[in-house]
Structure 1
Amino acid sequence: MNNQETLQDEKKYNKWIVVLSVLIPIVVAVLFGIKIPNVEPLTFLPPIYATINAITAIVLIIAFWAIKTKKQALHEKLMKFAIMLSVAFLAMYVAYHMTSDSTKFGGEGIVKYIYYFILITHILLSIIIIPFVLITYVRAITKNFERHKKIARIAFPLWLYVAATGVIVYVMISPYYV
């Protein structure tokens, strides 16, 4: 396949990348505002989705190692698994917030500012990472590995930050769950 064909293959996916990159945050925001009445709060979910974030971070690190050691098939499987973990996290996160009130952080002083800095950067980057992950994935499946590597250099640390800070946010807020 030549460069022109590869770019045409990528372009086939571009509208889906744009649609998903816009739709996912909007749907999450809308669902956040919906509370399902007469449903038992899913209060057991936060430690589960925090664990999923931790596993995602570990999988991303192992996938990075795999590609650096030329284990492309393992890298591919791990990256698909990381995407599945992120989708599972998002589903559980939304389900929790549709059945439970948000927990207020009770820390004070500098810890409060640290918490909110981590939370805000986590939320913003979790939105920003969506197109990066999708573009990186498309470039891999269309076998445009040079362009894949270029964007993966940006996507990997952002995604790792989002996964790791998801765990940190959970650990910091967990004493305040009712």
Structure 2
Amino acid sequence: MSNINIEKEKKYNKWIVALSISIPLAVAALFGVNLKRLGFDVEPLTFLPPIYASVNALTAVVLVVAVVAIKKGNRKLHESLMKFAIALSVSFLVMYVAYHMTSDSTKFGGEGVIKYVYFFILITHILLSIVIIPFVLITYVRAITNNIERHKKIAKITFPLWLYVAITGVVVYLMISPYY
């Protein structure tokens, strides 16, 4: 691996750090903003949860197909699918924030063991959705700067974490959907 590629990669580090901090902070800040309670005449975007859950499901499928593509040596398809997975994750985030800015949060109504299962899945989903941001960005930067060996190393960590976040997003939706 050349020092030129590592230097190219380092140019992105400030962006990776900035985005890894600012995205969760922005989501947290916007999550607490309810436009209706602030006096804005907005319709709740109650149609969004099944859509963004579907986006999470599609993200999981795209991630798996992308891994299969690279294992079969189809780098171009892998690159396209990974860019698509990033776009899907961004679209999920926009819809998720829009929903929570216009609608009251739904409380989980299950009781007993299922309540603990739900909260375990929800909490790990939320925490890993924050953790995955720098992993995705670093993995992507290593690919676009042609640091393929370093890309492969971190991708082995990024893939299962991102897949877990995508799948648990669907599971959380399915578990809470009866209470909407």
Detail structure 1 runs of 4+ shifted over 4 Å in the superposition. none
- Determine the C-alpha separation between the residues in 1 that align with 2:43 and 2:61: 32
Using the TM superposition, give the Cα deviation of residue 127 of structure 1 relative to its aligned residue in structure 2, in angstroms. Answer: 0.1
- Residue 173 of structure 1, aligned match among 163, 173, 176: 176
Give, as a single letter, the amino acid of the residue that structure 1 aligns with 2:9: E
Q: How does 1:73-84 map to 2 (within 5 A)?
A: 73-84=76-87
- Determine the C-alpha separation between the residues in 2 that align with 1:107 and 1:31: 27
Structure 1 unaligned residues grouped into runs of 5+:
none
Structure 2 unaligned residues grouped into runs of 5+:
none
Quick check: 1:106 aligned with 2:109?
A: yes
- Determine the C-alpha separation between the residues in 1 that align with 2:20 and 2:6: 20
Q: Is the partner of 2:162 in helix, strand or coil?
A: helix
- Determine the C-alpha separation between the residues in 2 that align with 1:134 and 1:101: 31
Give, as a single letter, the amino acid of the residue that structure 1 aligns with 2:65: I
- Determine the C-alpha separation between the residues in 1 that align with 2:141 and 2:103: 36
Give, as a single letter, the amino acid of the residue that structure 2 aligns with 1:161: Y
- Say what the alpha-carbon RMSD is for the aligned residues: 0.6
- Determine the C-alpha separation between the residues in 2 that align with 1:26 and 1:70: 38
Q: Normalized against structure 2, the TM-score is what?
A: 0.97
Using the TM superposition, give the Cα deviation of residue 161 of structure 1 relative to its aligned residue in structure 2, in angstroms. Answer: 0.1
Q: Is the partner of 1:152 in helix, strand or coil?
A: helix
Q: Is the partner of 1:79 in helix, strand or coil?
A: helix
Q: Which residue of 1 aligns with 2:56?
A: 53
Q: Across the two proteins, how many residue pairs are aligned to each other? A: 176
Q: Which residue of 1 aligns with 2:12?
A: 13
Q: Is the partner of 1:57 in helix, strand or coil?
A: helix
Using the TM superposition, give the Cα deviation of residue 90 of structure 1 relative to its aligned residue in structure 2, in angstroms. Answer: 0.1
Q: Deviations over 1:120-166 (max 9, x none)?
A: 00000000000000000000000000000000000000000000000
Quick check: 1:28 aligned with 2:27?
A: yes
Q: Deviations over 1:28-71 (max 9, x none)?
A: 00001111122100000000000000000000000010011100
Using the TM superposition, give the Cα deviation of residue 3 of structure 1 relative to its aligned residue in structure 2, in angstroms. Answer: 1.2
Q: Which residue of 2 aligns with 1:152?
A: 155
Q: Which residue of 1 aligns with 2:43?
A: 40
- Determine the C-alpha separation between the residues in 1 that align with 2:143 and 2:6: 12
Q: Deviations over 1:5-33 (max 9, x none)?
A: 00000000000000000000000000011
- Residue 88 of structure 1, aligned match among 74, 86, 91: 91
